[in-house]
A and B are shown apart, each in its own frame.
Chain A
Amino acid sequence: MDLVRDLLDVQLVDREGQGLGRVDGLVLRLREGAPPRLVALDVGAAVAARRVHPRVAAVLRWFTRRVLPSVRTVRYAPALIRDVGIDVELDVVASDDPRLLRFEKWLSRHVIGKIPGGRA
């Protein structure tokens, strides 16, 4: 597998096919006398913004901290990868895990779901 070609920027989905975001960053650990090792897939606007421009990242960090604290970077272990295709499937279920899709769930519960017709 080619990390940048096959993993970076790829759509992540959970076991139920729900979108978990895109791989915004890869974390490698450098090892003495051995090739670097992939230790995590990062998903988060802050990580993506760092790849665009440091200033964009700084503005975004300021904004999310003050206005949208539920926007957080999520770190997935490579061992969770179940399948690599056009999308990458991870061995998690977002609806059961309070650490995942925090902003989506917050927005759904407190804003969108409160507007008439928002829920079925």
Chain B
Amino acid sequence: MKNISKIGLGILTSIGGYLEVGSIGTALQAGAQFRYGLLWALAVGTVCIAVLTEMTGRLAAVSQHTVVDAMRKRFGVAFQIWPLATQVVVDLFVLASEIGGAALALQFATGVSIRVWAIPTALLVWALLWFGTFATIENGVALLGLITLCFVVAAVTLGPDWHDAARNLLPHTRSDHAAHYAYLAVGILGATISPYLVTFYSSGGVEEHWKAKDLTPNRLVAALGMSFGALVAMAVVVVAALVLAPRGIRADTYQEAAFVLTIPFPRWGWTLFWMSLFIGCVGAALELALDASYIVAQSFGWDWGESQRPAEEARFAMVYTLGLAVAPIPALAGIDPLKLTMFSMALTVVVLPIVVAPLLVIMNDKQYLKSHTNGVASNVAVAAIVALAFLLAAVAIPLQIVGAG
């Protein structure tokens, strides 16, 4: 039973990777514009993020220390300041997108503008962090997040061509609309292999007091948690391919696509869509606000942890409070959360290599991992992910310019 409750961390982490405003948005666009053509990007991203989370969970379980902790110790402050500064910026941008996304979901629910909902949404997220504990947040979000499985039910109900979908799980390129296709592929990979998932998951393992005996659950949680996210995200692609593509809808904004579930579920489709979007965005916002606090606190050696009272870890609480104070600003200014999130994703991709590359050193450090250091296969996997990260980082900004249209 205790092992089943651990899956909560996997699901919460994966919600930040797959079911937040940017991921659902790109999945809708991918399905609407290229049908099953980009399913492979989700498959590749899932393998990468499952490998990375397993490693950082292993680090947490064996050493009771996090990636950021090990990074500061092994590479020193003059290096650490770069991943820290860039990741805080990325966390803030993505946090602002999620606040906008959750406010947009409430706009779909009520018809009242996202400008009105932006501050209440940020306050809700802040209150959950301020009054809640890690366990309540983790289990609450994981449980409510199961509502997103409605996309899987919708996909099955709509009866996709399974052969066609399965063939597209292998990477391939396209000759028509190649730039936009590549742009969406990078967007999906960037939204999935997010550096904040890596730092968040390892902090979560320490919050949950994982020990060396939890290595097998850790493996399962990483694999199952990420598979849950991937399954739902793939279902979003399939639903968009079967509902939006035949109607010629490109899903460049959420407003165009929000009706997508009303075709398989005429009665409940609208409600299910906004609820899924709202829960995904709030879950991701909680994860991002916490992640910003985690990485700052761990970099400077402050006490940290979501389960203590704020006054016992005042600096930790200060970071997420400040983050959530500025996060509603873009939504208040009327910036479309989907536009903001596509920009944030390009930033995420650029930051990815400097967060992932140090794992090659950290995951082979016997002081932290004792006998559980990376084997040859894991090291080759990290090296491949680092290479992919550098490639993505190199093409992300140019594609943002040529492929966004």
Residues of A that sit less than 8 Å from B by CB: 8-12, 18-22, 24, 43, 45, 48, 51-52, 86, 103-105, 107-108, 111-113, 115, 117-120
Contacts and interface: CB of A to CB of B under 8 A. Distances in A.
B78 interface: yes
Given A112-B310, A118-B317, 7 more contacts: A12-B301, A18-B303, A19-B304, A22-B301, A105-B314, A112-B311, A113-B310
Interface residues of B, number: 29
B311 A113 contact: yes
B164 interface: no
Interface in B298-313: 299-304, 309-312
A120 B130 CA distance: 11
A118 B308 CA distance: 10
B268 interface: no
Interface of B: 63, 65, 69, 72-73, 76-78, 80-81, 130-131, 299-304, 309-312, 314-315, 317-318, 321, 367-368
Given A21-B300, A86-B367, A117-B310, A9 B315 contact: no
Contacts of A112: 310-311, 314, 317-318, 321
A52 B303 contact: no
B314 A9 contact: no
A48 to B, nearest CB: 5
Given A8-B76, A9-B72, A45-B300, A108 B131 contact: no
B54 to A, nearest CB: 21
A106 B158 CA distance: 59
Given A11-B69, A51-B76, A21 B314 contact: no
Contacts of B73: 9-11, 86
A48 B77 contact: yes
Most interface-central of B77, B302, B310 (chain A CB within 10 A): B77
A76 to B, nearest CB: 13
Most interface-central of A43, A51, A52 (chain B CB within 10 A): A52
Given A9-B72, A108-B312, A112-B310, A117 B130 contact: yes
Contacts of B130: 115, 117-118
Nearest to A25: B77
Contacts of A105: 314
A119 B318 CA distance: 14
Nearest to B301: A22
19 contacts: A8-B76, A9-B72, A9-B73, A10-B73, A19-B301, A51-B77, A52-B77, A52-B78, A86-B65, A104-B302, A104-B314, A104-B315, A112-B310, A112-B317, A112-B318, A113-B311, A113-B314, A117-B130, A119-B309
Contact of B131 (A12, A43, A117): A117
Contacts of A18: 303
Given A21-B301, A22-B300, A119-B311, A111 B318 contact: yes
A36 B173 CA distance: 61
A45 B321 CA distance: 21
B78 A51 contact: yes
Contacts of B315: 103-104, 107
A51 B311 CA distance: 31
A6 to B, nearest CB: 9
Contact of B368 (A9, A48, A86, A117): A86
A51 B130 CA distance: 34
Contacts of B321: 112
Contacts of B63: 86
A51 to B, nearest CB: 5
Nearest to A12: B301
Nearest to A18: B303
Contacts of B300: 21-22, 45, 48
A108 B314 contact: yes
Contacts of A12: 301
Contacts of B81: 52
A61 B81 CA distance: 17
A118 B76 contact: no
A120 B312 CA distance: 9
A118 B78 contact: no
B76 A9 contact: yes
- Please give me the 9 A-B residue pairs with the lowest Cβ-Cβ distance, nearest first: A22-B301, A108-B314, A107-B314, A113-B311, A112-B314, A21-B301, A19-B303, A118-B311, A118-B310
Nearest to B82: A52
B107 to A, nearest CB: 29
A108 to B, nearest CB: 4
Contact of A108 (B78, B301, B311, B367): B311
Contacts of A10: 73
A107 B368 CA distance: 32
Given A9-B72, A108-B314, A112-B318, A21 B302 contact: yes
